[in-house]
Structure 1
Amino acid sequence: MKNYNIAIDGPAGAGKSTIAKNIAKKLQYIYVDTGAMYRAMALSMMRQGISTENEEAVSKACSLIKITIEYIDGLQQVKLNGENVTAFIRDEEVGKNASVVARYNTVRKKMVELQQSLASSSNVIMDGRDIGTVVLPSADLKIFLTASSKTRAFRRWKELEEKGILSNIDDIEADIINRDRQDMNREISPLRQAEDAVLVDSSNLTIDEVIDKIILLFKEKCKGDLI
């Protein structure tokens, strides 16, 4: 039986993870948060005191790190060398360092192998920066999800505010713009829209509107055979 794959790419803060999780629930597919895997790698480096700017040291340490994904009660759990680190990888500093380690070929090769293995054995929806271009180039549907930097900064500011964390929206936007620049200009697997990906701008859409739009695109692409 064929396994169906949906690839969602896009810049930081575009809502990829939230959208992908909800679509996975509706379709009863497995959601693979590739960004979480890179965050786990970054967390490991930070804990070991290894500068993520030191590619040689990161590459050497990478070979000794095991990152796995498990699903408990339908929720993704990320494990780093056997430890569940799901609760630790959403820190802002971890996110910044994840963007750095994701530039390195050794790290990306390790992650891609795991991601492709998951996709070959299950119906999955996967989000990241290079899913449609590198990880799942033959995905049944490819989406490039984006939003303006101001919209993405506001969303992140509101999220932090709801958690009682003080932040400056201008600083958040500056960080988002910098991460976009890093992701688009990295030598290995830069962020870009695949030629056959559908562009979806979520700036003026609600979460439900984006979800409905992508599911409709999926049904049209696969002619309604699978849902």
Structure 2
Amino acid sequence: MSPVSSSPDALRIPVITIDGPTASGKGTIAQRVADHLGWHALDSGALYRLTALALQRAGGDGQDEALAARLARALDVRFQGERILMGGQDVAGLIRHEAVGNLASEVAALPAVRAALLERQRDFRQAPGLVADGRDMGSVVFPDADLKIFLDADVEIRAHRRHKQLSGKGISANLDDLLSDLRARDARDRGRAHAPLVAAAGAITIDSSRLGIDDVVQQVLGLWSARGPA
């Protein structure tokens, strides 16, 4: 999906936001809910990971706010199903590496980067509807969302999930290191001054620690259905 220019009409397009910490399952849940409804899906974390990858390639680090913001504004990116093209190259696998994810968490704390990506995210609000996942979708990017979900899970369970996910992709990872990284990223995401990870006003919290993917999807769809006609 490629974003288009936002307009006043876009504000009438329904949005479901799914926020939560790293490895809570929000990306998978958002995509499945979107598929069920026939809506678009926005993986906002991918934009920060893409910025981190571009920064990494430019030789920068998490302290280079001006460079990171400039790269964020200039991202040449297109989403095509499971493919993510940056400058014509499919980088969907590259941006899932832990080093890129950790840098993305640092980059996401930079106000100039968040400002640079804000409108790009809002431009994904297209008919018939959008399911957006991230950390500030309901609190900052789409504060008028029709349904806001905060998806949480115990950090140790999230570490095991991430380890299984990476192993399934043939990516070597140490469970203890993953747990340490997740705790550090949680602290960074929740403690940053600009757009911290919080449950948005009016959000419904779902703890997925002991729930399967299908269980959570059905909960979200049930909550949407219970709203009745818009």
TM-score for both structures, normalised by structure 1: 0.90
Aligned position for 2:95? 89
Aligned CA distance change for structure 1 residues 122 and 84 (closer, same or farther; 3 Å): farther
Q: 1:5 is matched with which residue: 15, 23, 40? A: 15
8 Å contact from structure 2 (residues 49, 101) kept in 1: yes
Which residues of 2 match residues 119-198 of structure 1 at below 5 A?
A: 119=125, 122-198=128-204
Listed one character per residue, the Cα deviations across residues 79-114 of structure 1 (whole Å, up to 9, x for unaligned) are: 334444223211111100111111112211121101
What letter matches 1:123 in structure 2? G
Say whether residues 1:66 and 2:59 are aligned partners.
no
Name the CA distance, whole Å, in 2 between partners of 1:84 and 1:163.
16
Say whether residues 1:118 and 2:124 are aligned partners.
yes
8 Å contact from structure 1 (residues 69, 79) kept in 2: yes
User: Which 5+ residue runs of structure 2 have no aligned equivalent?
Assistant: 1-8
Q: Choose 118-127 or 25-34, whichever is displaced more.
A: 118-127
Name the CA distance, whole Å, in 1 between partners of 2:171 and 2:70.
35
What letter matches 1:66 in structure 2? L
Q: 1:17 is matched with which residue: 7, 24, 27? A: 27
- Give the superposition deviation at 1:158: 1.5
What letter matches 1:197 in structure 2? A
Aligned position for 2:56? 46
2:41 alignment partner, SS class: strand
Q: How many residues align?
A: 220
8 Å contact from structure 1 (residues 31, 76) kept in 2: no
8 Å contact from structure 2 (residues 20, 152) kept in 1: yes
8 Å contact from structure 2 (residues 39, 127) kept in 1: no
1:126 alignment partner, SS class: strand
Name the CA distance, whole Å, in 2 between partners of 1:111 and 1:59.
8
Aligned CA distance change for structure 1 residues 159 and 186 (closer, same or farther; 3 Å): same
Aligned position for 2:42? 32
Name the CA distance, whole Å, in 1 between partners of 2:164 and 2:77.
31
Aligned position for 1:55? 65
8 Å contact from structure 2 (residues 34, 41) kept in 1: yes
Name the CA distance, whole Å, in 2 between partners of 1:182 and 1:117.
27
* Percentage of identical aligned residues: 37
2:109 alignment partner, SS class: coil
Say whether residues 1:203 and 2:209 are aligned partners.
yes
What letter matches 1:35 in structure 2? G
Listed one character per residue, the Cα deviations across residues 60-90 of structure 1 (whole Å, up to 9, x for unaligned) are: 4444x2243434xxx1543334444223211
Aligned CA distance change for structure 1 residues 216 and 47 (closer, same or farther; 3 Å): same
User: Which 5+ residue runs of structure 1 have no aligned equivalent?
Assistant: none
Name the CA distance, whole Å, in 2 between partners of 1:198 and 1:116.
22
